Amino acid sequence: MERVFTKPVAMKEPRTLYCPGCGHGVAHRLVAELIDEFGLRERAIGIAPVGCSVFADLYWNFDVISTAHGRAPAAATGMTRANPDCFVVSYQGDGDLAAIGTAEIIHAANRGENFVTVFVNNAIYGMTGGQMAPTTLVGQKSTTCQLGRDPAIMGHPIRVCELLQTLGGVAYIARGALESPKTIMKTKSYLRKAFEYALDRRGFTLVEMLSPCPTNWGMTPPQAMTWLRENMLDYYPLGVVRDVGAEEKAQKPVAA
């Protein structure tokens, strides 16, 4: 019988230890599928950040480095600058990227570093048990905002893509979601573009992935998908936020 669906070679173990309904497994798989598609397994280095995905090495079948909380973009810079032939996928959660690692991501983007960033936004701190994240929505409850996020004392949820897209070094930024097969496939197409740009050394690339965390949202997996759709998509609109290739094309005078 013909096999029509297998695990990517760049994936060691298709079953994960993440909670049922978690987006991390899907995000890992998208990375692995594209590593296969581009034939990058030999020179790829994945970053396992501080967060639930700290064990990404259990799943990715290529080199992995674990970095300090928030410092993935700095470590990625170090690796790609020292050896430009490495293909680095930096992978970060919202606490890692948008709280403690804000400085690192802004400056990596500004310098136009040539690695791909996967930014998994689940609007919560997963690994530490459900604290408020920089991306937690207004009114959303967490263990450190038990009455719901109040912007007057806790600030507003940060839209990372929109924040970064003004920076000079950015080549490509897009936001997808891991909430249905359709949005997952779309997210994969964004990530493919980011891979292409990174391989062409066009500068900084980032794909945000809105992702459910049923455990710390206190929901079943189906409820979490619905909650994501109904609450996150309004505040975090999906789509390409910046694409320098498309901008160039648009600017080119049409040949007569």
Interface residues for ligand TPP in 59-78 (CB under 6 A)?
69
Segment contacting ligand SF4 by CB under 6 A, of 18-26, 109-117, 170-178, 188-196: 18-26
Q: Is 231 in the site for another protein (CB under 8 A)?
A: no
The entry of ligand TPP, ligand SF4, another protein, none near residue 214 (CB within 5 to 8 angstroms by kind) is ligand SF4
Segment contacting another protein by CB under 8 A, of 36-44, 113-121, 127-135, 243-251: 127-135
Closer residue to ligand TPP (CB): 125 or 227:
125
C-alpha 53/C-alpha 236 separation (Å) is: 22
Strand order in the sheet with 239-243: 63-66, 44-48, 87-93, 116-121, 204-210, 170-177, 239-243
The entry of another protein, ligand TPP, ligand SF4, none near residue 143 (CB within 5 to 8 angstroms by kind) is another protein
Segment contacting ligand SF4 by CB under 6 A, of 28-36, 106-114, 119-127, 235-243: 119-127
Sole residue written with tokens 């094309």: 249
In whole angstroms, how close is the CB of 231 to another protein at the nearest point?
A: 21
Rounding to the nearest 10 degrees, give the CA dihedral for residues 189, 193, 196, 201. -160
Decide: 114 and 84 in contact? Cβ < 8 Å.
Answer: yes
Segment contacting ligand SF4 by CB under 6 A, of 26-34, 37-45, 181-189, 208-216: 208-216
Compute CA distances 102 → 22, 78, 109, 133, 236, whole Å. Answer: 24, 17, 11, 13, 18
C-alpha 16/C-alpha 219 separation (Å) is: 19
Cα Rg of the chain (Å, integer): 18
Task: List Cβ neighbours of 153 (8 Å cut-off, separation of 6 or more).
Answer: none
The entry of ligand SF4, another protein, ligand TPP, none near residue 132 (CB within 5 to 8 angstroms by kind) is another protein
Q: Is 216 in the site for ligand SF4 (CB under 6 A)?
A: yes
The three-class DSSP label of residue 206 is: strand
In whole angstroms, how close is the CB of 188 to ligand TPP at the nearest point?
A: 20
C-alpha 132/C-alpha 157 separation (Å) is: 10
Instruction: Using CB under 8 A, list all residues that contact another protein.
Output: 17-20, 50, 52, 54, 66, 68-70, 95, 99-100, 102, 125, 127-129, 131-132, 134, 143-146, 153-154, 215
Footprint of ligand TPP (CB under 6 A)? 50-53, 69, 93-96, 120, 122, 124-128, 133
